[in-house]
Amino acid sequence: MTNPFDLTGQVAVITGANTGIGQGIALALAAAGADIAAVGRTPAEETVRKVRDLGRRAEIISADLSTIEPVQRVVDEAVDKLGKIDILVNNAGIIRRADSLDFTEEDWDAVVDTNLKSVFFLCQAAGKFLVRRFGETGERGRIINIASMLTFQGGIRVPSYTASKSGIGGLTKLLANEWAGKGVNVNAIAPGYIATNNTSALQADETRNRQILERIPAGRWGDPQDLGGAAVFLASRASDYVQGHILAVDGGWLAR
């Protein structure tokens, strides 16, 4: 019996792959056999080097996803450089913090455009390729969106981030409804509190850091590598019958 988690010969496009969660997922998929197209505003040179050290192919695709301008080019360049796409991981995202009474339109638009609008249109561009490729074959393409604890909760002082990640949850379910019968699985991972650049302000705030740790049953911040197993599962044949699911990897945060 073949290993249902084996990704040998697959090509994964991962946005925001230069550091943190994106890099952790890229390395996990590469360790399972996938080749990687590392997409980001900052060239993911370290990620590409580490993927190649694992014996997999890896290419950098430079793209600023604060607008949808590069979306089709990302798909086209990945296919041109690596021959195809099997998996898309929408990880790129930003966060802006301020009290809701003071939150600006600029900070609202910047976050929603990057975290939700660009994600939808990248899903659309990749989805057209994946539906054409897999719709009649019995094989399946995969889209994995990166949600958040704030897909389920409100949070504080991050209104545009909460709105965007709540939108990711709904969008994931909608696309699964439309594309599950067309050869494409669409699911999401909701990371808990992971130690990355996006959470550096929380880690540095002694009071907030303590409050967060007190609520996490696992008793620690997550590491980007903690998301690797979930990503491999959702990218592989092991999840063939998993559609529109938001998989929390949170150290037990939501169970508290």
Q: Which of 120, 129, 134, 161 is labelled catalytic?
A: 161
Q: Can 193 be counted among the known catalytic residues?
A: no
| Burial class of residue 7 in the structure, from the number of CB atoms within 10 Å of its CB (0-12 exposed, 13-18 middle, 19+ buried) | buried
Alpha carbons within 13 angstroms on the beta-carbon side of residue 186 total 27
CA 229 – CA 234 distance, rounded (Å) = 9
Which residues are marked as active site? 161
